[in-house]
Amino acid sequence: MGDDALEIGEITISDWHAHTDKMAEAGFLTIARRLPSLIGQAMRLAWRASPRDTVATVSLNLLGGVFTAFGLLATTGVLTALFSDGPTPDRVMAALPSLALVAGAAAMRTAVQAGAGWAQSRLDPQVSRLTEERLYGLTSRVELAAYDDPDFHDALQRARLRGVAMADSVVTSAIDVVTALVGLLAVAGVLGVLHPVLLPLLLLAVLPDAWAAGRSARMRYTTLYTLIPANRRKWIIAELLANRQPAAEVRSFTMRGFLLRMYDAVARAEQEVLLRLAKRQTLTRVLGESLGGLGSGLVYVALGVLLALGSILLAVAGTAVLAIRQGQSSLGNLMYATNRLYEEGLYFTDFLDFCEDAERRLAKPRPVEAPESFARISAHDVTFAYPGSDNPALRGVSIEVNAGEVIAFVGENGSGKTTLAKILSGLYEPDSGNVTWDDVDLRDVEPEALRMRTAVIAQDHTRWPLTARYNITMGTGKGEEALDAAARVAGADAVIADLPHGYRTLLDRRFKDGQELSGGQWQRIAVARGFHRDAPLLICDEPTAALDARAEHALFERIRDHADGRTVLLITHRLASVRYADRIYVLDHGKVVEAGTHAALMSLDGLYADLYTLQSSAYRD
């Protein structure tokens, strides 16, 4: 494979530019128009995080602008005294009062800026916490089907990687914009007092830089936006190269060279895009700085002409020079802060857009209380398709599950077994048809409350990086007796007994004193988790996949014993385990094609009989 072309899927160059049209309007005027909105968003976020620190930061920065203006005006008095006629000692003594005012204004400005910096440093972590809580509060509440939507994944990627990280930066940049704007207004007021002509001339030195900064921000965001699929692909490959879970298989199949080639292919393609971006940004900055230097020269020429014509005094000219330098500094800070605010605001807008989309995906408030139990669960003509799929996972499915029954769903991979179980438990909502617990339609029930009535033992269970206790209790506090009982019924008590700290053992070897379990041990923990829930509906989705034959037999015995009035939905490919189910539903391509007891289905000689015979033949001589 050394010279074969690599299939790197979604990160071809053409795909990178699929969304560039969304950022095409990000020109200089767009920045100016969006600036008030961005500042408003940032200030509202800061206010929600901490009203006190927001008020302190803004008010102290405003006060700093007042002291800037006062110091510049006092400078005129110093220069007037120094440039007047008379002996030098007398001129110096005459300048001392104004000099004291300048020094006092500078000291006060330094003090209030330090106070503003302290308040802002307090504000940043509070803003970060607020945005992170909002993001993860939404991601944990959206409908489960959202995670099957690739558009949702892309939006979540942008929100997590850049949007949340930019929240505190957006607030900081917005405050910097306000601070620079206040300083600029202070200087503009001073120049207006000294001579009205000086004020418009000041703009010549900074407008080119403003254009260059806005254009550079647009280039950067557009490029990074289109590189998101490449970054995700790099992250996936990096996880394969540097994660403990695939480490053994990477070595067993000698995947190192192949993965490094794939990583290098993605990284090189990304590098070429970034190098082109650097070249374009450099040319833009050079042009902006060149025009800005020309503008600065014109400002000083105009000042010299005014001085030669006697339109301004020498002392006023000296103050004007200082004011122009201060104005250029303030305008430079304003352009830099505006550039940062706009660029960071683009990423922050991704976060806000994601939150709006996620909020639309939240289940609306529902008026009906979730039933504590049920006599019957019914699905009526249920159809369901995953987002972006043209083929429904379920097609007109109708079934009934009575309380206390053990019901089995069987069928080949992709037949819809797990999807149907999730719909019956309220994790998914059908596109058409409905599911009822007795006479209660699940569309009218609060999903979170309904899930408290459901326990799941899954094949692809999560190996939580938590203690053994929390891996079973999932944060619920039912006491030691319930915990011990669930572990004992699941056979997890023997696993716990071998752990160095019992239930307090952290089940993740990446942490100090953490322990790792085998697949079978993790399966027992997952079973105990389902039993601990003690819910009227127990869903067992391939619960014995990681167990040996003896442990599998023992687990099914425990599930039958634990049922004891509970309803069990059993999903498995091992058909010998479903012989004693009260009813078996056979699914094929999203439809229920057969239903009945084991004996009835065998006599039917259909798909179930074919699958069962195929499996059982492997154990015959």
Give the model confidence (pLDDT) of 408-454 as tens digits. Answer: 999 888 889 989 988 888 888 899 999 998 888 888 888 888 888 88
Q: What is the pTM of this model?
A: 0.68
Strand order in the sheet with 406-410: 454-458, 537-541, 567-571, 406-410, 583-588, 591-596
Is the pLDDT confidence value at 21 over 60? no
Degrees to nearest 5, angle at CA 333 with 329 and 334: 115
Give the Cα separation of 336 and 206 in Å (integer).
11
User: Strand 432-437 and strand 376-384: pairing?
Assistant: antiparallel
Whether the Cβ atoms of residue 386 and residue 145 lie closer than 8 Å to each other = yes
Strands 406-410 and 394-402, sheet pairing: unpaired
Confidence of residue 584 (pLDDT cuts 50, 70, 90): very high
Can you tell me the distance from the alpha carbon of 288 to that of 282, in angstroms, rounded to the nearest whole number? 10
d(CA 484, CA 503): 10
Residue (of 557, 521, 4) closest to 261 by Cα position:
4
- Quick check: helix, strand or coil at residue 149? coil
At 31, the pLDDT band (50, 70, 90 cuts) reads: low
The per-residue pLDDT for 5 is 53
Cα separation, 254 vs 458, whole angstroms: 31
Give the orientation angle of helix 207-226 with respect to helix 28-49, to 10 degrees. 70
Sketch out the chain's domains with CATH numbers: 9-361 (1.20.1560.10), 458-534 (3.40.50.300)
- Residue 87's contacts (CB-CB under 8 Å, 6 or more residues apart) are none
Q: What is the pLDDT of residues 506-526, one digit of tens each?
A: 888 877 778 888 888 888 898
Number of Cβ within a 10 Å radius of residue 559: 24
**Which span out of 278-282, 530-534, 603-607 was modeled with the highest average pLDDT?**
603-607
| Contact present, 380 and 436 (Cβ < 8 Å) | yes
Contacts of 412 (CB under 8 A, 6+ apart): 588, 611
Q: Could you tell me the two tokens for 306?
A: 């005014």
Rounded to 5 degrees, what are φ and ψ at 185? Answer: -65, -35
- The pLDDT of residue 621: 54
* pLDDT value, residue 295: 72
Q: Which residues pair with 263 in a beta bridge?
A: none
Type of residue numbered 62: L
